[in-house]
Structure 1
Amino acid sequence: MDFYSYEYLISNQDNSRLIKLIVVGLLVVIIGVFFFLYMRNRFEIKYKDLGIIFATTLLLVIAIQYNDYSNLLTTQKQTGQITGTIKETAKQLGVKPKQVSVNSTTQTDGLLVNTPKGFFRIDFNTDGSSFLLEKIELHNPKINVVRR
C-alpha cells in the first residue's frame, strides 16, 4: 500500500509545464518566420500554407495547455485540502506534519494515516469541514512511503 509523505504532497508535481511553454514559444517563432517569409515573397503560397498549419497546431497546443491548467488548479485545491488535514492531524497527535503520511492524494472518506504513533483512519463529516480520527490496526501492512 502506498502512503504519500507531506513533502510529496506540497511539492510541485507538474514538471512538464516548462516543456509545454517551450513548445508554445517555438511554435510562435516558427509562425513568425513563416509570416515574414510570406510577406517577403507574396507569390510563394507554401509559406502561407505552412504558417496556417503551424497556427492551427499552436491553437491546439494552447487548448491543451488550458485543459492542463484547469486540471492543475483542481489538483492544487485538493492538495491544499489534504495538507490542511495532515497539519490538523499532526497537531492533534502531537507530531510534526513531516512525520505524517496518507494513503491518498485527495481528501476522501476513510483516509488512512501513518504516523509514529501508529495508523489512524480519518472519517469526514458530510461537508468535509471536520473529521473523526480513529486509531486502527493494520494486519500484514506492506507500506511504501512515497517521498519527494
Structure 2
Amino acid sequence: MLALIIAITLYLRHRIQVKYRDLSIIVFLLLLFMLGLQYSDYTQAKNQHAQSFQMVTFITQIAQEKHVRKKTIFVNSTQLSDGIVVKLKNAYYRVNLNANQTDYTLTRTHLIDSQINIKK
C-alpha cells in the first residue's frame, strides 16, 4: 500500500516520465492480486468451518438415533460428504447422502484392512 502511494506521488510530481505511471499500475495490480488471494483463502476457511459444523450436527444426530455417546462415534473425515465411513461400536457404516445433503442412509460395510489408526 505504501509503495502504491509513493509511486502515485512520484508519477504526479514527474508527469512526463512514464516509468512512474507504469510502476504505480504494476503495484496497484499486485495489490489487487494479493487482496484476491486473501479473499479466496477467507472464503475457503469459512466454507471448511461450515462443513465441520455440519459434521458435528451429523454426529449428534447419529448418536441420538443409535442411542450411543458422541465420543464413541468415529468418522474418517472432518467434513460431511457422501461416502464417508462411520464406526459405531464394532461396526462400520458407509454414509450415503442425497443431493442436497438433507437425508442420509447408513449402509453396513466391511473393511478390507482391519488395521486402522484412530486419531482423536
Distance 2:119 2:19 in 1: 52
Distance 1:84 1:114 in 2: 16
Give the length in aligned residue pairs: 118
Paired residue for 1:114, among 87, 92, 103? 87
Unaligned runs of 5+ in 1: 1-27
Report the residue type matching 2:90 in the other structure: G
Unaligned runs of 5+ in 2: none
Report the residue type matching 1:142 in the other structure: Q
Corresponding residue for residue 90 of structure 1: 63
Distance 1:146 1:43 in 2: 65
Superposition deviation, residue 88 in structure 1: 1.7
Paired residue for 2:29, among 53, 56, 62? 56
Give the root-mean-square deviation of aligned CA atoms: 3.1
SS in 2 for 1:141: coil
Instruction: Report if aligned partners of 1:119, 1:138 keep a CA contact under 8 Å in 2.
Output: no
With structure 2 as the length reference, what TM-score do the two structures score?
Answer: 0.66
Distance 1:59 1:126 in 2: 36
Percentage of matched positions with identical amino acids: 29
CA displacement 1:18-61 (0-9 Å, x = unmatched): xxxxxxxxxx2221222233334445443322111111112222
Instruction: Report if aligned partners of 2:97, 2:104 keep a CA contact under 8 Å in 1.
Output: yes
With structure 1 as the length reference, what TM-score do the two structures score?
Answer: 0.57
Distance 1:127 1:52 in 2: 44
Using CA pairs below 8 Å that are at least 6 residues apart, which structure has the higher relative contact order?
1
* Bigger radius of gyration among the two: 2
Describe the shift of the 1:54–1:91 C-alpha distance in structure 2 as closer, same or farther (beyond 3 A).
Answer: same
Superposition deviation, residue 85 in structure 1: 0.9
Corresponding residue for residue 18 of structure 1: none
